[in-house]
């Protein structure tokens, strides 16, 4: 998948990671659509959760490194997302919540990347980092 222009940050590593997040989400969608079973869907979800944690760590380190003033708010958004995704992951063990997970993650990524991530990128550009 290729990111829409409004979701590009101009930071290659971050854009690549965002693309991986959407690709992993697409894998989950494909597994669910194909009816590949609970274990395949749960594995795809786990992969999404793991990569999300890695991505958030990279983003937060970048913000710390460049003294992003709204870092605490941004980290709180990451923590809220991670907590909600964790709840959905637990529910996935008991029942099929695939469609809720897919919709939640897609909307959150689009909103978060399109707004919150663009704000820290603007700070980095203003600080002449990128």
Give CA–CA dist 56/48, Å, rounded: 12
pLDDT-derived band at 39 (thresholds 50, 70, 90) equals: confident
130 pLDDT more than 70: no
Contacts of 110 (CB under 8 A, 6+ apart): 7
- Condensed to tens digits (0 to 9), the pLDDT of residues 48-69 reads 889 999 999 999 999 999 999 9
Task: Work out the average pLDDT over 99-114.
Answer: 91
pLDDT-derived band at 101 (thresholds 50, 70, 90) equals: confident
């Amino acid at each position: 998948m290729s990111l829409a222009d409004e979701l590009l940050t101009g930071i290659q590593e971050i854009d690549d990671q965002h693309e991986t997040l959407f690709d992993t989400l697409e894998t989950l969608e494909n597994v669910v659509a194909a009816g590949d079973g609970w274990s395949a869907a749960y594995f795809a979800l786990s992969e999404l959760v793991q990569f999300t944690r890695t991505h958030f760590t990279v983003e937060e380190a970048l913000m710390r490194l460049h003294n992003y003033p709204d870092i605490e708010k941004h980290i709180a958004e990451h923590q809220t997302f991670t907590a909600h995704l964790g709840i959905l992951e637990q529910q996935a063990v008991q029942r099929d919540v695939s469609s809720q997970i897919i919709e939640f993650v897609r909307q959150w990524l689009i909103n978060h990347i399109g707004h919150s991530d663009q704000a820290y990128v603007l700070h980095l550009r203003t600080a002449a980092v990128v």
